[in-house]
Amino acid sequence: MGYPKVTHCIFDMDGLLLDTEAIYTVAQKEILAKFGKEFTWALKAKMMGKKALDAARVLVAETGLEGVLDPEDFIRQREEILDRLFPDAPMMPGAERLIRHLHASGVPIAVATSSHARHFDIKTRKHRDVFGLFDHIVTGDQVTHGKPAPDIFLVAAGGFGPGRGPASAAHCLVFEDAPVGVEAAVAAGMPAVFVPDPNLDADGVAGAAAVLPSLEAFDPAEWGLPPYPGSAGAGAVRN
């Protein structure tokens, strides 16, 4: 299989555990419409998974709005819309089952999200019980260099505490929905399960150990993790 046995799991949050990416799309469409610009999936693919300011800079540059829309002003406008919509974000299919299973099986699990801690709090307000099962949460404001830099995954892997850490980065399985997130995992030396939105053109995304249509299709047993009770698993497409 090319990877050592997986012992630890690190989860992205937006678009992977929580259905928040559609909310970012609504907000970004609304703001760009004021400038007569369209928000496309090609642009979204370059922004998603990045820290807010990094993503805002991409949006301004790619839409030719330099000098017209300041990235920080874009973020301010976006905050008003996001704050209204985030509290109702549902979990993605298969996420809660997988988290509960790994936790119940004693597998160390962490979240590594580019989201700021303030956003994390709003988004997870209705899902406190599930997010309370993680060993720890790393938010974007805790690292200087956001995804695609490997930093956030390395910090997450280092946070399991004495005696509970992985033998090496290669024992940590990362779950991601964003191309830059897969890039960051690869740079960290970690195998990545890529779960892209069906609208995302995933063809150019290199390095994922597996590509799945949903977390519901993830079979822990295929990765050496404790199997779901009574389940043979759905079978990953491994590269």
Ligand X SMILES: O=P(O)(O)OC[C@@H](O)CO
CA atoms within 13 A on the CB side of 141: 6
Which of the ranges 7-15, 36-44, 125-133, 224-232 carries the binding residues for Mg ion, by CB under 5 A? 7-15
Counting beta carbons within 10 angstroms of the beta carbon of residue 161, is it exposed (0 to 12), middle (13 to 18) or buried (19 or more)? Answer: exposed
Q: Is 12 in the active site?
A: yes
Name the β-bridge partners of 48: none
14 annotated active-site: yes
- Using CB under 6 A, pick the residue from 6, 23, 48, 209 that binds ligand X: 48
Separation CA 10–CA 102 (nearest Å): 11
Q: Is 28 in the site for ligand X (CB under 6 A)?
A: no
Q: Which of 9, 10, 13, 31 binds ligand X (CB under 6 A)?
A: 13
Min dist CB 12 to Mg ion, Å, is: 4
Residues in CB range of 48: below 8 A, 6 or more apart = 14, 15, 21, 24, 55, 177, 178, 179, 180
Residues numbered 151-210 forming contacts with ligand X, rule: CB under 6 A: 178
Binding span for ligand X by CB under 6 A among 7-15, 101-109, 202-210, 211-219 = 7-15
- C-beta of residue 211 within 8 angstroms of C-beta of residue 239: yes
Extract the tokens encoding 217. Answer: 């299709």
**Among residues 9, 10, 12, 23, which is the contact residue for ligand X, using CB under 6 A?**
12
Query: Which tokens hold the place of 189?
Result: 């030396």
Smallest separation (angstroms) from ligand X to the CB of 139: 9
Nearest to 235 by CA among 197, 193, 198: 193
Candidate ranges 9-17, 82-90, 100-108, 186-194; the one touching ligand X (CB under 6 A):
9-17
Binding flag, residue 19, Mg ion (CB under 5 A): no
Residue of 91, 115, 190, 200 that binds ligand X (CB under 6 A): 115
Q: 41, 53, 34: which is closest to 15 by C-alpha?
A: 41
Can residue 200 be called a binding residue for Mg ion (CB under 5 A)?
no
Q: Phi and psi of 91, rounded to 5°?
A: -80, 155
Binding mask 199-218 for ligand X (x = CB under 6 A): --------------------
Looking at residue 35, the DSSP 8-state letter turns out to be T
List residues near ligand X by CB under 6 A: 12-15, 24, 48-49, 113-115, 178
Q: Which residues are catalytic?
A: 12, 14
